[in-house]
Structure 1
Amino acid sequence: MNVVELKPDVPAPLVKVQKLDSVLRLEMNNPPANVLSIAMMQALKAELDAAREDKSIRVVIIASATPGQLFSAGHDLKELTVHRAEEDRGRAFFVRTMKLCAELMQTVVHLPVPVIAEVDGLATAAGCQLVASCDLAMCTDTSAFCTPGVNIGLFCSTPMVALSRNVNRKQAMEMLLTGETIDASTAREFGLINRIVPRQYLNQVVLKYAEIIASKSPLTVKIGKEAFYRQAEMSLEDAYEYTAGVMVENMMARDAEEGMNAFIAKRKPEWTGE
């Protein structure tokens, strides 16, 4: 008689990872809501930190492993609520959660490669914050977005940081004060997303954009992304002074020299990342 050893079920990873040449795809895999629990935020941040060290990665895509449902419902309210039974009524855990969330969003912004949000479903609260934190965002025509904290007595103050840096102030306040859900076309009008794509084409359109970006000089893209976010917080005079210096340093790079020579010679440039 053959004895078959039964192996214990291995839990599915919270973040599914797929690498397509120089494009890294991260899929949140915590159905049905893809809540940004402590574990989920740690898993996402760990993958992004690893991507920072992997020089072969040129673009990162953040998506849901369950398209058509929830991109992310934001923080895990059940996880937060259970800690109210502690002596400090949950304060220490709340501090830990918000600190980790801020670190995750800043990791997205400070990553030296562009990050694209691929949204097919609802992105709410900190889930909407994650979309707003990404450099580009594309969604299906059935996707929706909201910052509904005000409805439960908890203003979306941390999502407000990313939201207010991406959309008009009055439109950001509209979302924050009403908590109402906006559809994909409104989100594009507000400036929260770049493109609305039919569901059957979303993945390939996002990948196409990722491949176009990945074909550029990685050094140039890194310089440009960092400069974009830094100058955005400066006065007009300071921004021009800063970016003028950035451009000079960029022009001294081997890739800039190669790119200019290739353009003049009407040939395809060969990037070295230097």
Structure 2
Amino acid sequence: MNDNPIKTHRVGHVLEVTLDRPKANAIDLATSRIMGQVFKDFRDDPDLRVAIITGEGDKFFCPGWDLKAAADGDAVDGDYGVGGFGGLQELPHLNKPVIAAVNGICCGGGLELALSADIILAAEHVSFALPEIRSGTVADAASVKLPKRIPYHIAMEMLLTGRWLDANEAARWGMINHIYPAVDLMTETRKLAQMLAEGPPLVYAAIKEVVREAEDMKFQDALNKITKSQFKTVETLYTSEDQLEGAKAFAEKRDPVWKGR
């Protein structure tokens, strides 16, 4: 087993995180804790603006929970670390964009990990499933998230039968954003990440907080909270140098220079 299951690579304001646990990139408790620390550090580093999560190789993105580790004593309800399973699902206040580059089979907790990203790009050969039903367990996070992301009946079919979706069907139902040939996946992912990294980080933070917090709120309540600057990130944005820079750049007909403050 790889002694370093998580590889990170920093390019400017972008952090690339690669899950590298041969043979299938499954996640055990120790790996999940490492991932949580990686994404916590990403969240707290003011110089990092965008993260990419992908898997090593071209066969597996991630199949989720490592059943072999479970057989050796890893408890399903054990300590997953600061961000919950895979480091992303329960990490509080993560107000920076995360892109999942799905390079291979994406199922179970691996699909839940991908769903924790803000944008999902996929290679054309990949497939998706929630096979937990076949092993007598529940895809807990997916049961919460998936019916909110794709049509209810499609989500329920996946949860209740464990059937597989290819990349084209996943895109058709809105589960993923774009499909690329495998050789182009990381190039396109990095291109998108760089575009986001050049954007306004304080606006991204406000968008992510509003979307997250407003999910279970009535429309008018959420809108009132925005207009009254009751979201911390919105208040920060509207009193920032970047807010003034956006207006100045527009008036001066130039590209803005975002500083994140």
CA spacing shift, 1:97–1:143, aligned 2, 3 Å: farther
**Taking every aligned residue pair, what percent have the same amino acid on both sides?**
29
**TM-score w.r.t. length of structure 1:** 0.86
Q: Is the counterpart of residue 261 in structure 1 residue 244 in structure 2?
A: no
Alignment-derived partner of residue 31 in structure 1 = 22
- Tell me how far 1:110 sits from its aligned partner: 3.5
- Partner SS, residue 96 of structure 1: coil
Does structure 2 retain, via aligned residues, the 8 Å contact 1:61–1:115?
yes
**Structure label with greater radius of gyration:** 1
- Partner SS, residue 110 of structure 1: coil
CA spacing shift, 1:220–1:121, aligned 2, 3 Å: same
CA spacing shift, 1:162–1:40, aligned 2, 3 Å: farther
Runs of 4+ with deviation above 4 angstroms: none
Q: Is the counterpart of residue 141 in structure 1 residue 131 in structure 2?
A: no
Counterpart of 2:64, as a letter, is G
Q: Number of residue pairs matched?
A: 255
Give me the whole-angstrom Cα distance separating, in 2, the residues matched to 1:269 and 1:77. 49
Does structure 2 retain, via aligned residues, the 8 Å contact 1:16–1:65?
no
Structure 1: gaps of 5 or more residues: 1-9, 84-89
- Partner SS, residue 95 of structure 2: coil
Alignment-derived partner of residue 106 in structure 1 = 90
- Partner SS, residue 106 of structure 2: strand
- Tell me how far 1:98 sits from its aligned partner: 6.7
Alignment of 1:1-274 (within 5 A): 12-66=3-57, 68-83=58-73, 93-96=75-78, 100-101=84-85, 104-107=88-91, 110-246=93-229, 249=235, 250-274=237-261
Alignment-derived partner of residue 6 in structure 1 = none
- Partner SS, residue 105 of structure 1: coil
Give me the whole-angstrom Cα distance separating, in 2, the residues matched to 1:31 and 1:161. 29
- Partner SS, residue 51 of structure 1: helix
- Partner SS, residue 78 of structure 2: helix
CA spacing shift, 1:102–1:47, aligned 2, 3 Å: closer
Does structure 1 retain, via aligned residues, the 8 Å contact 2:9–2:15?
yes
Give me the whole-angstrom Cα distance separating, in 2, the residues matched to 1:34 and 1:126. 11
Counterpart of 2:76, as a letter, is F
Give the aligned CA root-mean-square deviation in angstroms.
Answer: 2.1
CA spacing shift, 1:14–1:103, aligned 2, 3 Å: closer
Give me the whole-angstrom Cα distance separating, in 1, the residues matched to 2:8 and 2:213. 30
Give me the whole-angstrom Cα distance separating, in 1, the residues matched to 2:79 and 2:175. 24
CA spacing shift, 1:176–1:11, aligned 2, 3 Å: closer
- Tell me how far 1:11 sits from its aligned partner: 5.1
Counterpart of 2:220, as a letter, is E
Give me the whole-angstrom Cα distance separating, in 1, the residues matched to 2:211 and 2:32. 25
> In proportion to residue count, which structure has more helix?
1
Structure 2: gaps of 5 or more residues: none
- Tell me how far 1:30 sits from its aligned partner: 0.1
Give me the whole-angstrom Cα distance separating, in 2, the residues matched to 1:133 and 1:171. 19
- Tell me how far 1:224 sits from its aligned partner: 1.4
Counterpart of 2:51, as a letter, is V
Deviation string for 1:75-126 (max 9, x for gaps)? 011222344xxxxxx8xx232157842864122x732211100011111100
Give me the whole-angstrom Cα distance separating, in 2, the residues matched to 1:102 and 1:192. 19
Give me the whole-angstrom Cα distance separating, in 1, the residues matched to 2:93 and 2:127. 26
**TM-score w.r.t. length of structure 2:** 0.90
Does structure 1 retain, via aligned residues, the 8 Å contact 2:33–2:87?
no
- Tell me how far 1:244 sits from its aligned partner: 2.4
Does structure 2 retain, via aligned residues, the 8 Å contact 1:123–1:145?
yes
